Chain A
Amino acid sequence: KQEVTQIPAALSVPEGENLVLNCSFTDSAIYNLQWFRQDPGKGLTSLLLIQSSQREQTSGRLNASLDKSSGRSTLYIAASQPGDSATYLCAVTNDYKLSFGAGTTVTVRA
Chain B
Amino acid sequence: NAGVTQTPKFQVLKTGQSMTLQCAQDMNHEYMSWYRQDPGMGLRLIHYSVGAGITDQGEVPNGYNVSRSTTEDFPLRLLSAAPSQTSVYFCASGIWRQETQYFGPGTRLLVL
Residues of A within 8 A of B (CB): 4, 31-32, 34, 36, 42-46, 49, 89, 91, 93, 96-103
Contact = CB atoms under 8 A, between A and B. Distances in A.
Contacts of A102: 40-42
Interface of B: 4, 31, 33, 35, 40-45, 48, 50, 56, 58-59, 90, 92, 96-97, 99-106
Contact of B56 (A31, A32, A49, A96): A96
B73 to A, nearest CB: 18
Given A89-B42, A97-B48, A100-B43, A43 B103 contact: yes
B43 A89 contact: yes
A19 B83 CA distance: 38
Contacts of B35: 98, 100
B90 A100 contact: no
A46 B102 contact: yes
Contacts of B90: 43-44
5 contacts: A36-B103, A43-B4, A45-B103, A97-B33, A103-B42
Contacts of B96: 96
Nearest to A93: B97
